[in-house]
Homo-oligomer: A and B are copies of this chain.
Amino acid sequence: MVNIAILGYGTVGSGVFDVLGQNSETVERQAGQPVKVKRVFVRRDYPSSEADPYMTRDIDDIMNDGDIRVIVEAMGGLESAYAYAKRGLSLRKHIVTSNKELVADYGAELLALARDNGVNFLFEASVGGGVPLIAPIVRNLLFDKILYIEGILNGTSNYILTEMSVGGKGFAEALREAQTSGYAESDPAADVEGLDACRKLSILLSLASGCRAVWTDIETQGIARLTEADFLCAKSLGYNIKLIAGARLSGSSAEAYVAPRLVPYGHPLYSADGVYNSVLLGAKAVGNVMFYGRGAGKYPTASAVVSDVIEAARKINENTGIYWSSETLDILPPTRAERRMIRAERGEEFEAVAARLWPGAPRVSIKHCQRETAWLTEAEDSSAVREKLAALEETSPGTRILSAISIIGT
């Protein structure tokens, strides 16, 4: 019998309680022994909840209980989560978390602490919600050379982009709808500004490289400036727009970014809509591999947490060896030449100047706005495209660049 404690009884904490309760037989079979929730740490009452008999407001009831071998951290936030994770690991309790801030900021330290104490720090639910991702990377891919990561890692922004693309809504309207439907928080900054995706990418990069990828080193751009016109032009040219977290690894460094990207029809990431997440990995021997599923939501996330609880129960006296060093990974912005869709308001002599700068580029116009146009460039590096855009604005007075979005994988 393995006794566990859950810290927090919000969406994830209560989901874990439910999933463990509903699947106790199969959990026991997979874990090799029964898994029982002994304590739930809360900061307020949940009087009519099934978990009520287990609830405590005193963290010491959990930390000082030698019978509790696994702690599920489901509080969110950073300070208390970090303090409790650290204290728990030092007391030789396994920590399972869905908290990407915690893993992104303190992963290296907590993994080392887990290793020193012969227990595990597990975080399957921190990236990709319910999608099995961390475990298959560790178990199946990590011996192979991981060359790139390209993914849709934030369900909220993907929901908003899907509403904009399929529903033809503007950003503000799509965001409001996401908030009404409970897919976006009242302060959506971390999701729409790309910070959540950036933290998740840093976790995958740390795992793949074995070094600490500092998320603030990753050039990150959100989705708030995308407009209906961007989607209309992209669609006419055969693309969808997704918020992509991408990285290429080489030796001891990586090029990484989070930004909107055009995804061509037929690309494996093209059809990940709504709150779905999708992560494409390229490794030397295995080639391309993709994982897809619900990136958020109570039960998908709880399911990932429970899979880690089972793993902790199976390895109750053993560290599984998941690890990255505290040495910092060298992270650069992408330097490769990329194809782009550029959208602009036409000024004087626009046609002649544009034809000279981008000869033969496929073009689309926007029905409702005669002055706007968009075109696809050949692969150019960012300094080349910057020069051309400056030349365009200079030699075609009145021309205004509205957006420039790179095409994925070019």
Contacts and interface: CB of A to CB of B under 8 A. Distances in A.
A293 B287 contact: yes
A291 B290 contact: yes
A247 interface: no
Given A266-B273, A291-B291, A142 B26 contact: yes
A143 interface: yes
Interface of A: 19, 22-23, 26-27, 29-30, 32, 124, 130-132, 135-136, 139-145, 266-268, 270-273, 276, 283-294, 297, 299-300, 302-304, 306-307, 310-311, 321
Nearest to A290: B292
Contact of A140 (B135, B266, B267, B286): B135
Given A293-B287, A303-B283, A311 B139 contact: yes
Contacts of A267: 271
A19 B283 CA distance: 12
Contacts of A130: 285-287, 289
A283 to B, nearest CB: 7
Contacts of A23: 143-145, 285
B141 A307 contact: yes
A285 B302 contact: yes
Contact of A288 (B19, B286, B293): B293
A270 B268 contact: no
Given A136-B136, A140-B124, A142-B26, A300 B286 contact: yes
Contacts of A141: 132, 303, 307
Given A131-B289, A271-B266, A285-B19, A30 B294 contact: no
Contacts of A287: 130, 293-294, 297, 299-300
Contact of A289 (B26, B132, B284, B289): B132
Contacts of A321: 30, 32
Nearest to A275: B287
Centre residue among A22, A130, A270, A283 by max chain B CB count within 10 A: A130
Contacts of A124: 140
Contacts of A132: 136, 139-141, 289
26 contacts: A19-B285, A23-B285, A26-B145, A130-B286, A130-B287, A132-B136, A132-B141, A135-B135, A135-B136, A135-B139, A136-B140, A139-B311, A141-B303, A141-B307, A268-B272, A284-B299, A285-B303, A285-B306, A286-B293, A286-B300, A288-B292, A288-B293, A289-B294, A290-B290, A290-B292, A291-B292
B143 A306 contact: yes
A268 B292 contact: yes
A29 B299 CA distance: 34
